[in-house]
Amino acid sequence: AVGAGRNRKVIIHKGMYVLPFCRMHHTEFHNTGKDTFCRKYKVFGIKLDDYLCRIWRLKG
């Protein structure tokens, strides 16, 4: 996970899977745990490609 000792300004994000949430759901994700949250809301990560890295200004 980015932020768990990893510098988000330095790492290459392309190829990583992300779950972009609003603040409320981000907090719930951390409070309930990944597996419980993903089962509850039927969500899964999306793989970052060049396009998504560009629009979200991440290193690709």
Domain boundaries, the chain: 1-60
The pLDDT of residue 3:
73
Secondary structure (H, E, C), the chain: CCCCCCCCCCCCCCCCEECCCCHHHHHHHHHHCHHHHHHHHCCCCEECCHHHHHHCCCCC
> Looking at the predicted structure, is the pLDDT value of residue 1 above 90?
no
Span 4-29, average pLDDT: 91
Share of the chain above pLDDT 70, in %: 100
The pLDDT of residue 32:
96
CA distance 22 to 60: 23
pTM over 0.75, yes/no: no
